[in-house]
């Protein structure tokens, strides 16, 4: 069932929407409907981390370790 929806927009935006809809061979209502439909599409989750990596997530939270500390560690390790 289709239901009427009233939108209030700037005139220039309405004109450009009509031009774009015409260019695509669709109505403005179809384009708006497709946009709203795209908002409800379920997006895939981020890939799961490997078990070892997942177990380390957050382990240094609140420890005050900085990027400079990490770089210092790497320099000492590889020199």
Q: Is 18 domain-assigned?
A: yes
* pTM value > 0.75: no
Residue 41's pLDDT band (cuts 50, 70, 90): confident
Q: Is the pLDDT higher at 1 or at 6?
A: 6
Q: Is 19 domain-assigned?
A: yes
Q: Is the pLDDT higher at 44 or at 49?
A: 49
Give the CA distances from residue 23 to residues 7, 26, 36, in Å, rounded to whole numbers and listed in that order. Answer: 21, 8, 20
pLDDT at 19: 97
Cα separation of 30 and 25, whole Å? Answer: 10
Structural domain of 23: 1-41
Q: Is 74 domain-assigned?
A: no
Q: Is 7 domain-assigned?
A: yes
């Amino acid at each position: 069932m289709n239901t009427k929806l009233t939108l209030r927009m700037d005139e220039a935006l309405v004109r450009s929407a009509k031009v774009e809809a015409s260019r695509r061979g669709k109505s403005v209502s179809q384009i708006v409907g497709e946009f709203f439909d795209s908002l409800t599409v379920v997006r895939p989750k981020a890939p799961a981390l490997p078990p070892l990596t997942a177990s380390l997530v957050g382990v240094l939270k609140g420890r005050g370790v900085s990027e400079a500390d990490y770089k210092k560690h790497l320099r000492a390790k590889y020199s």
